[in-house]
Each structure stands twice: as C-alpha cells, then as structure tokens.
Amino acid sequence: MSEGIGCDKMSALARVEQAILDILAGYQGEEVSGRALRRLLTNRGFRRSAPAFIFTMMALADKGLVKCREEVFVIGGLEARDRYYQLIEGPRANEAVIPSG
C-alpha cells in the first residue's frame, strides 16, 4: 500500500464511517435524510443511537467528506430539525473510495 493522504484518511476512518460513505456514494449528487441514512446503516448491521450517528456525521463533515444541510421547523410550539447529508464530490471524495466486497 502506498503512503499518501488518501491512505492515511482511509486508515483513519472507522468501519461505520466507511459504510456511510459507501451508502452515500450510491446516491451521488443527491441528499439523503439523516433518518433514511441511519435506517440504511442499520440494514448493514450498524446500530447507532441518534446522538452517536450525529457525532459520526459531524466527524465526516469535519474531514471534508460529507456536507450537511439542516432544516429547522416548529411543530406544536416545539423546534425540530431534519438533517440532510451528501457526499462531497471532488478530490477529497475520491480519496475516500471504498472497495466493495
């Protein structure tokens, strides 16, 4: 394995982070709601509480691999948030390509 930024990034990613990037790669150019993404992750055998999932997604955003958009709305006087995630296209995303299999 060659030394390089891409290799360092991949070795630093947890299996759950790799699975998330793999899922988002299947929706290239599209946003995926946090709820749907968490459900797809559960289908792959990864169980994450909502706070753990959000922290994992924040870590991926901090690494420049995903972007997050948040919608805030009020229901019955209570504030609620929906988050939407998208794989960042470009050189940084190419460094995080996950081999299938």
CATH class of 5-95: mainly alpha
Low-confidence ranges of the chain (pLDDT < 50): 1-8, 92-94, 96-101
Neighbours of 17 (CB within 10 A): 20
What integer pLDDT is reported at residue 44 of this predicted model?
Answer: 95
Residue 93 — φ and ψ, nearest 5°? Answer: -65, -35
Structure pTM? 0.74
For residue 94, how many C-alpha atoms fall within 13 Å in the half-sphere facing its CB? 3
Q: Where are the domains of the chain?
A: 5-95
